[in-house]
Amino acid sequence: PLLGERGLQPVRRFLRYTRFQKTPSLFWINCSDRFITAAIWCGIALSIFAVTGWSESLGLVVSMSALVLLWVIYLSLVNVGQTFYGFGWETMLAETGFLAIFLGSSGTHPPVVVMWLIVWVLFRTMFGAGMIKLRSDPCWRDLTCLFYHYETQPLPNPLSWYLHHSPRWAHKAGVLFTHFAQLVMPWFYFAPAPLCYWAGGLTILFQITLILSGNLSWLNYITIVLCIPCFDDRLLGRLISIPHSVPTQMTLVHKIAVGALTVIVLALSWRPARNLFSRRQLMNASFEPLHLVNTYGAFGAVTRERFEVVIKGTGADLPDPNAEWREYEFKGKPGDVNRRPCIVSPYHWRLDWQMWFAAMSPPDLHPWIFALVQRLLEGEKRILRLFARNPFPNAPPKFIRADWYRYRFTKPGERGWWTRTYVGEYLPPATLDRTVGKVH
Each residue's pLDDT tens digit, 14-43: 999 999 999 999 999 999 999 999 999 999
What's the pLDDT score for residue 245?
58
Question: What digits encode the pLDDT tens for the residues 392-434?
Answer: 999 999 999 999 999 999 999 999 999 999 999 999 999 998 6
Whole-model pTM over 0.85: yes
φ/ψ of 278, rounded to 5, equals -85, 145
Residues 285 and 335 in one domain: no
Kindly state whether residue 225 falls inside one of the protein's structural domains. Answer: yes
Same domain, 166 and 30: no
Count of domains observed in the chain: 3
Last residue of a domain, one of 86, 116, 137: 86
Share of the chain above pLDDT 70, in %: 97
CA-to-CA dists, residue 261 to 167, 249, 257, 367, angstroms: 49, 18, 6, 39
Range of the domain at 331: 306-439
Burial class (CB in 10 A: 0-12, 13-18, 19+), 422: exposed
Residue 391 inside a domain? The answer is: yes
pLDDT for 440 beyond 50: no
For residues 203 and 217, give the distance between their C-alpha atoms in angstroms, rounded to a whole number. Answer: 17
In a domain, 314, yes or no: yes
**109 in the same domain as 19:** no
- Asked whether the predicted pLDDT for residue 321 surpasses 90, the reply is no
91 within a domain of the structure (yes/no): no
Same domain, 49 and 119: no
Domain match, 58 and 162 both: no
Distance CA 71, CA 217 (A): 19
Question: Is 17 within a domain?
Answer: yes
In a domain? residue 98: no
pLDDT grade for 242, boundaries at 50, 70 and 90: low
Indicate whether 199 and 280 sit together in one domain: yes
- Does residue 97 sit within a domain? no
